[in-house]
Structure 1
Amino acid sequence: MTFISSRQRPLGWLLASLLLGSSALAQTPARPQPTKPVTSKPAPAAPLAKPAVNPSVAAKPRPTSARPVAIPPAEANVRYRAGKNQLDQGNYAAAIAQLEPLAQPAARFARAADAAYLAAVAEARLKQWPEAEQLLNLLRTEYPSYPNLPDALLLQGQVSFELEDFDTALKTLTLLPSDKLVAERENLKAAYLPRIQDRNTWLRNLRRYPADATLGRAYADRLVLGGAYTEADRPQLDDLITRFSLDRARYTPRPRPVSTKKSSYNVAVLLPFELADPSWQTQRKNQFVTDLYAGLRLAQDSLQRAGRTLQLFAYDTGADTLTLKQTLALPELAGMDLLIGPVYKSGARLLARYAQEHQIVCVNPLSQDGDLVLDNPWHYLYAPSAATQGRTAAQFAAGAFGTGRPALVLYEDSKDDAAFAAAYKAALEEQGGKVGGLRRFNPNVDASLATAFAGPELAAAGHVVVVSDDRRVGPYSLRLVQQQPAATRPGLLAPGSWLDNPSLGVGQLNGAGTYFIQPKYYDEQSVGFRRFRTLYLQRQHLPPSVFASQGFELLLYFGNALFQYGPAFQVGLAGASQTPGAIFEGASYFGGAHDNQVVPIIKLSGLEYQVLK
Structure 2
Amino acid sequence: MNRFFAFHTGFRSLSLCVLLWTTAQAAMSQTDHVERRYQYAVRFIQQKDYVKAKAELRPLTEIRTSGIAPYAHYYHALADFNLKRFSESRLMLKQLIDRFPDWKKMDDAYYLLGAAFFENGQYEEGIENLSRIGDPALKPDVSKLQTYYFSQINDLNRLKLMQKEFPNNRELALALIDQIQRTSTAPADLELSDRLTNRFGVPGVSRPVTTEASSSTATVARPEKNRNKGYYNVAVLFPFRLNDINPEERARSNQYALDLYNGMRLAKTKLQSEGITVNLFAYDVDNDGTKMTTLVNNPGFIQNDLLIGPLYAEPNRIATEFANQNNVLLVNPISTSSELVVNQPLAFLANASLNQQALKTVAFARTLSMVKKAAIYYGNTRKDSTLAALYQNELKRIGYTVQDFRKVGSSDLEAIRLSETNKPGHIFLVSSDESTGAKLLRLLTQRKVEVPVIATSSAFNFDKDPLSTFSKSDLYLVYPEFVDPERPGSDEFEELYLDQRNMIPSMYAYQGYDMLLFFGRMLARTRGQITNRSQLKATPEEGYLLSGYDYTASNDNQVVPIVKYDGTRFTLIK
Q: Give the TM-score, by structure 1 length.
A: 0.53
SS state of the match for residue 399, structure 1? Answer: coil
What SS does structure 1 have at the residue aligned with 2:348?
Answer: strand
2:516 — aligned with what?
555
SS in 2 for 1:527: coil
Structure 1 counterpart of 2:483: 522
Q: Does the CA contact (< 8 Å) of 1:369 and 1:416 recur in 2?
A: no
Q: Distance in 2 between matches of 1:543 and 1:458?
A: 47
Indicate if the aligned counterparts of 2:435 and 2:460 stay in contact, CA closer than 8 A.
Answer: no
**CA shift at 1:588, angstroms?**
0.6
Distance 2:557 2:446 in 1: 37
Q: Any residues of structure 2 matched to 1:168-567 within 5 Å, and which?
A: 262-279=229-246, 280=248, 284-345=252-313, 347-400=315-368, 402-429=369-396, 432-441=399-408, 443=409, 446=411, 450-451=414-415, 453-454=416-417, 459-485=422-448, 489-567=450-528
- Secondary structure in structure 2 of the residue aligned to 1:515: strand
Conserved 8 A contact 2:329-2:346 = yes
1:590 corresponds to: 552
Query: How far has the Cα of 1:323 moved from its partner?
Result: 3.0
Q: Which has the larger radius of gyration?
A: 2
Q: Distance in 2 between matches of 1:372 and 1:481?
A: 38
Q: 1:572 aligns with which of 517, 528, 532?
A: 532
What is the 5 A alignment of 1:13-24? none
Q: 1:501 to 1:321 in 2, by over 3 A?
A: farther
- What is the alpha-carbon distance in structure 1 between the residues aligned to residue 372 and residue 288 of structure 2? 48
The Cα of 1:472 is off from its aligned counterpart by 3.1
Letter matched to residue 584 of structure 1: L
Structure 2 residue aligned with 1:64: none
Equivalent residue letter for 1:434: T
Displacement after TM superposition at 1:456 (Å): 6.9
The one-letter code of the counterpart of 2:232 is Y
Q: Secondary structure at the match of 2:317?
A: helix
Structure 1 position 504, deviation (Å): 2.6
**Percent of pairs with identical residues:** 32
Give the residue type in structure 1 aligned to 2:533. Answer: L
Counterpart of 1:494 in 2: which secondary structure?
Answer: strand
| Equivalences, count | 347
Asked whether the equivalents of residues 370 and 386 of structure 1 are also in contact (C-alpha less than 8 Å), the reply is yes
Closer, same or farther: CA 427–536 of 1 in aligned 2, 3 Å: same
The residue correspondences of 1:158-169 to structure 2 (distance < 5 A) are: none
| CA separation of 1:450 and 1:484: change in aligned 2, threshold 3 A | closer
Change in Cα spacing, 1:538 to 1:572, as seen in structure 2 (3 Å) is farther
The one of the two structures with greater contact order (alpha-carbon pairs below 8 A, sep at least 6) is 1
Gap change, CA 1:290 and 1:346, over 3 Å in 2: same
- Write the distance in 2 (CA, Å) between the matches of 1:378 and 1:524: 33
In structure 1, list runs of 5 or more residues that go unmatched. 1-257
3-state DSSP of counterpart to 1:568: coil
CA change 1:458–1:327 in 2 (3 A) is farther
Amino acid across the alignment from 1:564: R
Tell me, yes or no, if the aligned pair for 2:350 and 2:515 is still in contact at 8 Å: yes
Deviation (angstroms), 1:509: 1.7
Which residue of the partner structure matches residue 214 of structure 2?
none
Contact persistence 1:382–1:596 (CA under 8 A) = yes
Q: Render the CA deviation track for 1:325-377: whole Å, top value 9, x for unaligned.
A: 33333222222111001234453333223322333110001111112111111
The answer (yes or no) to whether the contact 2:372–2:399 under 8 Å persists in 1 is no
**Equivalents in 2 of 1:503, 1:558: separation in Å?**
35
The verdict on how the C-alpha distance between 1:269 and 1:500 changes in structure 2, with shifts beyond 3 A counting, is same
Q: 2: distance between equivalents of 1:500 and 1:324?
A: 37
Give, as a single letter, the amino acid of the residue that structure 1 aligns with 2:496.
L
Distance 1:527 1:503, change over 3 A: closer
- Note closer, same or farther for the CA distance 1:460–1:543 as it changes in structure 2 (3 Å cut): closer
Shift of 1:562: 0.5
Q: Which amino acid aligns with 2:370?
A: T
**Paired residue type of 1:585:** S
Distance 1:472 1:365 in 2: 27
- Conserved 8 A contact 1:268-1:314: yes
TM-fit CA distance, 1:576: 4.2
Matches of 1:414 and 1:499, distance apart in 2: 15
Partner SS, residue 313 of structure 1: strand
Please list the CA deviations of residues 117-155 of structure 1 after superposition, one character each: whole Å capped at 9, or x if unmatched.
Answer: xxxxxxxxxxxxxxxxxxxxxxxxxxxxxxxxxxxxxxx
Shift of 1:582: 1.9
1:39 matched residue in structure 2: none
Distance 1:579 1:427 in 2: 28
User: How does 1:19-58 map onto structure 2 within 5 Å?
Assistant: none
**What does the per-residue CA deviation read over 1:503-527, in whole Å, with 9 as the maximum and x for residues that have no partner?**
5322222111111011222221322
| Mean Cα deviation higher: 278-287 or 501-510 | 278-287
Distance 1:565 1:264 in 2: 13
**2:435–2:459 Cα contact (<8 Å) kept:** no
What letter matches 1:403 in structure 2? Answer: M
SS at match of 1:349: helix
Show CA shifts across 1:269-318 (max 9, x none). 11111122232459722111111111111111111121111111111113
Single out whichever of 383-392 and 311-320 deviates more from structure 2.
311-320
Q: Deviation at 1:595?
A: 1.1
Tell me what 1:69 maps to: none
Distance 2:526 2:308 in 1: 18
Give the Cα separation in 2 of the matches to 1:567 and 1:578. 17
What letter matches 1:572 in structure 2? N
Counterpart amino acid of residue 294 in structure 1: N
Q: Displacement, 1:560?
A: 0.3
Question: Counterparts of 1:394 and 1:597 in 2: how far apart (Å)?
Answer: 14
The one-letter amino acid of 1:496's match is: S
RMSD after superposition = 2.7
User: Are 2:571 and 1:610 equivalent residues in the alignment?
Assistant: yes
AA matched with 1:538: D
SS at match of 1:557: helix
Contact 1:398 1:431 in 2 (8 A): no
Contact map agreement 2:271 2:517 (CA 8 A) in 1: yes
